[in-house]
Chain A
Amino acid sequence: MVTSPRPTPSRRPRTLQYHATAGDRPLAAGRVIVVGIIAFALGALLNADSLYALANRQPFGWKRTLARGVATPVRGLSHLTRLNEPRAAIQEAIGRDPEAGTRSVSKVTATTRPADAPLPAVRLRQPTADNPLKLWVGGDSMVQEVGTSVVEKATDRGTVTADLDYRISTGLTRPDYFDWPAHLRDEVLPARPEVVMIMFGANDAQPMEVDGKPYAVRTPEWQAEYRRRVALTMDLLGGDGRLVIWVGQPTMRKAEFSERMDILDEIYRREAARRPWVRFVDSRSVLAPDGGGYSAYLPGEDGQPQLARQSDGIHLSRFGADRLADAVLAALDKELAQAPKGGGPASTTRPSAPPTTTP
């Protein structure tokens, strides 16, 4: 192997002669390692809450246990030496919660309605430009596309105002990362939306902690707990005459992942069927209209194939999102068709049986 002395800058191609380093003192590799160790060690203490939150976000399993095992003492030392405070001060200054993601919440904190509470009913009214319908659209990253389409199509009517509120990498299995029921209770419902469109699930097919023990998706324990959380969320959203449109997961490209989504869809469908204020929109029938499996392309209005899914085989393209948004708005229109003219109650649907969920 040919070796040569370090070339002077002038011997290098012109494109490599940039950024003045003439005044710099080069460092030895050993010293770079020392600087790096100091930077990482002190940086870990300064950002200990963030590291701990990162460890918490990992899927349940040995990696999370290990990460928390490392992050916990670092966080303890950081709090002991108060080195966590500069980051907390910065976070508070920009309006964030410095403790976000560090709380050990493994149960959803919202509670379902008492069994003897009045049963919610859908009471929509005919919206007008002066008194538009209030629509809230939220969920995980799948909602980034479909929510955008729903909001655009709905607001184009001129009689609907809409808020889009999607949170990437969230769902119902990890309230320690983002507690959707608490968010709905504290941030969304106080604004009294008349229609809610919600979509979860793509991040939910991961192990879930139940009573301190992690369970896999296919176990009865996991499914019972997930069903409870779905039911709780649906119950939470009911009331004030509100219509809840719950959108199911589409078929995914990877068969194994898609089978896990089947499990979730079945839970959504069954729980929605038990609650007259919830309409379940089956995205599979929209995005695989022939009842077939995953399809990246769908025929457009002119019959020509259009790309409906993103390259990850999970998320929707804008065309696919538009198609699903049409189904969502069709569900809304079906309810609005029953709404009385003049703003009175649309329908007072009574459930045949009360919700059976328990906190």
Chain B
Amino acid sequence: MLFPTFEFAVFFSLTFVGSWLLRPRPVAWRWFILAASYVFYAWWDPRFVLLLAGSTVVNQAAAAAIARLPAPAARRAVLIVAVVANLTVLGFFKYYGFFLTSVTDALAGIGLHTSPPLLQVVLPIGISFFTFQALSYVIDTYRGDTEPSPTLDFAVYLSFFPHLVAGPIVRARELLPQLNERPDPRRIDAALAFRLIFAGLFKKVVVSSFVATAIVEPVFANPGQHQNLEILFAVYGYAVQIYADFSGYTDIAIGCALLLGLRFPQNFDAPYAATSIQSFWRKWHMTLSFWLRDYLYIPLGGNQGGEHRMRRNLLLTMVIGGLWHGAAWTFVVWGAIHGLALVAERAWEQRQQALGVVAGRWSPVLRWAVTFHVVCLAWVFFRAESFAKAGELLWRLLTAWGAGTLVRPMLVFVVVAMVAAQFVPAGFVGRAQAVFSRAAPVVQGVCLALGLLVIDALGPTGVAPFIYFQF
């Protein structure tokens, strides 16, 4: 069930009413939310629910065992089994074909021809997200950062439908305590929720769809047919498309959770306003980057052990982060570009500090431009279906001089406006939100109806799946 559909509007309306009616009865409310979440997930394929339920049972058992066992060695053994089990399931569904074809190709390269047992494994939607959430729960329990919760609570936490298929990746210690709270049904942060939901719908339905069809899809499909101005705007356009698509999804997810009285962590914070790659990763898909920091970078050693090891850890974390996004070497290169950029940026800053260089007046502008274009360069590999296509696109960007026909004023306006919007002060939007929250219900309803009008009239017929569903 996609968010921007009639089915989801009906589903969420019923869930909203049922949730607040049952909120005074905590156990019934939990069962209700769990059932609603499973219905939401089963909408894609009922078989996936078994996997989700299985993940719930196994990880809850592991967390309970870790909390119960006194011996550190035994606790560590359970942790390792749980981590391996989670990664095996994720690896099978997501990387089976990629792994086998990569190995087969490598063996063929040295003259060994094999016939591997290839299967086309259907990827359960959202598996990367709920697997990472389950891992964080088990690891946090091992670290003593969280206590094992009742099984029903954990099941609700893992399957809660707003974050289930594409995040944000909510930590156990962020959501589980909220399940035990009794939110006041007279105090819902509805103005913020409505703002997020409508902004998300606009970004996904209008902006992402428009940019995708206007330039990104035709240029990335056939770069050989396009001139370099078209290619440049296709790359900028993809940066806008993926931001509008993914941040749009998480805005809707956060807004829906808020209407149900639960708060998710922020996932985007004007990432294209970043003036360094490090800053970008504190603003882009924040819940993933913090997850990778806490459960991969720091266990690898983090900043400890000297500059060389720190650089290795940084690069490794970003490459694995790239692979998390998809089973293809292009994603690995995307992660590697970010990792190398982080390493280079750190080395540059250390050098500047050692030389005592003071940042000039135009330094932030220059840093922003470099950061944005490094991010855009990496997006080329993220979006391209092969290295050959990415190479052709970049080559023609440098050599195929011409304007083409796809770069039209509306496209330029949308791309520029979406990037410029990241520099709009949050206070301005907050004031508009506050005014909305104090308006009469009729005025609020009319405002939202006008929002629906604009989104529907400007959006395409039908809605494409969210990009991040495939991850």
Contacts and interface: CB of A to CB of B under 8 A. Distances in A.
B215 to A, nearest CB: 14
Given A4-B181, A15-B266, A27 B453 contact: no
Interface stretch (A47-55, A228-236, A326-334): A47-55
B334 to A, nearest CB: 18
Interface size class of B (residues with CB under 8 A): 35 or more
Contacts, number: 204
Contacts of A19: 192, 196, 266, 430
B73 interface: no
Contacts of B177: 7
B446 A42 contact: yes
B456 A2 contact: no
Contacts of B264: 16
Interface string A71-95: 0000000000000001100110010
A155 interface: yes
B444 interface: yes
Contacts of B290: 15
B187 A26 contact: yes
Interface stretch (A30-38, A191-199, A283-291, A344-352): A30-38
Contacts of A2: 180
Interface stretch (A118-126, A215-223, A262-270, A298-306): A298-306
Contacts of B454: 90
B186 interface: yes
A38 B26 contact: no
Interface residues of A, number: 68
Interface in A121-155: 148, 151-152, 155
B105 A304 contact: yes
Contact of B430 (A20, A26, A53, A101): A20
B71 interface: no
A43 B453 CA distance: 6
Contact of B385 (A7, A20, A305, A318): A318
A29 B185 contact: yes
Query: Which of B181, B184, B221 is the most central at the interface, judged by chain A CB atoms within 10 Å of its CB?
Result: B221
B45 to A, nearest CB: 11
B113 interface: yes
A297 to B, nearest CB: 5
B116 A305 contact: yes
A6 B181 contact: yes
B13 interface: yes
A91 B290 CA distance: 43
A39 B448 contact: yes
B434 interface: yes
Contacts of A296: 118-120
A47 B174 contact: no
Contact of A21 (B116, B191, B259, B427): B191
Contacts of B221: 148, 152
Interface stretch (A181-189, A242-250, A307-315): A307-315
A304 B106 CA distance: 10
A117 B263 CA distance: 70
A26 B180 contact: no
B222 interface: yes
Interface in B164-205: 171, 173-174, 177, 180-192, 194, 196
Given A3-B180, A26-B189, A13 B174 contact: yes
A306 B101 contact: yes
B458 interface: yes
A3 B456 CA distance: 42
A6 B191 contact: no
24 contacts: A3-B181, A6-B187, A25-B438, A26-B186, A26-B187, A26-B188, A27-B187, A27-B190, A29-B20, A31-B441, A36-B445, A39-B448, A40-B449, A41-B449, A47-B457, A90-B453, A90-B454, A148-B221, A302-B108, A305-B101, A305-B116, A305-B118, A306-B101, A307-B97
Given A25-B437, A53-B461, 20 more contacts: A3-B180, A6-B184, A6-B187, A21-B192, A21-B433, A25-B191, A26-B186, A29-B188, A35-B194, A38-B448, A40-B9, A46-B453, A86-B453, A87-B456, A90-B457, A101-B461, A151-B225, A307-B97, A318-B385, A318-B386
